[in-house]
Amino acid sequence: MSYWLYDTTMTQSISLQRIDKVRAVSRAIVRELGFMQKGLAGTDLSPSAVHTILELGYGTVTKASDLGDMLHLEKSTVSRLVQKLTEDGLIEAKSNHADRRTRQLDLTKNGRVLLKTLEEFGRMQMRSAFEHLSNDDLTKVEAGLALFAKALRGLGSSASGSTAVEIRQGYYSSVIASVVGLHATYYATNYGFGAVFERKVATEMSEFMGRLESPMNTTFSAFLGETLLGSVSLDGEDLGKGVGHLRWFIVSPESQGMGIGNLLLEKATSFVDATGFDRTRLWTFKGLDTARHLYEKHGFELTRETPGRQWGTEVIEQEFERKRT
């Protein structure tokens, strides 16, 4: 089963001329980005292999089954792809602490070197293409491509009979208990956190929800029906004027690999930029590599590491900061 972000759309009559025009533009994009060549992004890898390196590096997928859903590949094809990349020393399978029946895929050291190369290549392509556009035209391109991708996701989900994931903003009944429960269960199971951590999350989040009416504060939550899949909050008051605080970012283990974390951070950073914070900070601890990939993808940089016990268990605490661009 696949999932997509829910939004209300209107059915409309679209002419064949318009459809064929979009198809022609799509083919041109595919050609110019090199998808018709033997190697992609300056490598000797197939498009599916390149996408695998990117999505594993960004943390949007962690399991082979999720990779198949994202790339629309058969299970046997994914197995061969994973085996090939493993033999090439680019990815590795690790024990999944959240679900011991499955193996979690991750990049090796060489895989991360390749990820950096792919990112640099892709950014160079985009920079070369965009540098001749005005800011207004660039905004139109960004919006248009985002809408196009969203429309294609909707097509795929409709064809497979999948269920919509809805991103809700603000308070919803039981959201505090659900977010605290996700944190408590996940961090107790995987990192041994106990009552101190659960009490801290419950107390501080309850206090924050009392200030949610302020335009400087908000919460984004991903739901499948009435089941909470993940959540993130922005506190614009507790760190001082002009500083946002990203808090309580969590995705349920069952939902990891669906791109929920990426969607939530997109919403959070868009809110930060629209609100006009000079900088945004978050605190986490060393070892949460998937979350760190997402933070860095969305502009956060590590600014400090130090041992600490603020969550009841000694860890290497990390501070990340995202500056206004």
More confident residue, 311 or 301: 301
Residue 47 sits in the same domain as residue 96 = yes
* Domain end point (choices 141, 162, 183): 162
**Lowest mean pLDDT segment, chosen from 86-100, 159-173, 293-307:** 159-173
Altogether, the residues listed in the chain come to a count of 325
pLDDT digits (tens, 9 = 90+) for 246-262: 999 999 887 777 788 98
Residue 281 sits in the same domain as residue 262 = yes
Give me the phi and psi of 4, to 5 degrees please: -145, 160
- 299 to 215, 224, 288, 317, 320: CA distances (angstroms): 23, 28, 17, 19, 10
pLDDT digits (tens, 9 = 90+) for 229-249: 999 999 999 998 899 999 999
* Class of residue 265 by CB neighbours under 10 A (exposed 0-12, middle 13-18, buried 19+): buried
pLDDT digits (tens, 9 = 90+) for 7-56: 333 334 567 777 778 788 888 877 777 766 666 666 778 888 888 888 88
pLDDT digits (tens, 9 = 90+) for 140-176: 777 777 777 767 766 444 444 345 678 899 998 889 9
283/38 Cα distance (integer angstroms)? 43
Residue partners of 136: CB distance under 8 A and separation at least 6: none
Residue partners of 272: CB distance under 8 A and separation at least 6: 234, 244, 246, 280, 322
Residue 312 sits in the same domain as residue 177 = yes
pLDDT at 312: 80
Give me the phi and psi of 33, to 5 degrees please: -80, -5
* Domain end point (choices 108, 139, 162): 162
Residue 183 sits in the same domain as residue 76 = no
CA dihedral 308, 257, 56, 289 (to 10 degrees): 0
- Residue of 267, 291, 70 whose CA lies nearest to 191: 291
Residue partners of 139: CB distance under 8 A and separation at least 6: none
Please check whether residue 31 is in contact with residue 24, taking contact to mean a CB–CB distance below 8 angstroms: no
Token output for 324: 């206004």
pLDDT digits (tens, 9 = 90+) for 171-190: 988 899 999 999 999 898 88
Total number of domains in the chain: 2
Residue 178 sits in the same domain as residue 119 = no
CATH code, 24: 1.10.10.10
Say whether 251 sits in a helix, a strand or coil.
Answer: strand
Q: pLDDT-based confidence at 283, cuts 50/70/90?
A: very high
Residue 168 sits in the same domain as residue 308 = yes
Identify residue 19 by its one-letter amino acid code: I
Residue 14 sits in the same domain as residue 54 = yes
Residue 17 sits in the same domain as residue 141 = yes
CATH code, 168: 3.40.630.30
Token output for 196: 């101190």
Q: Give me the domain span that covers residue 190.
A: 164-323
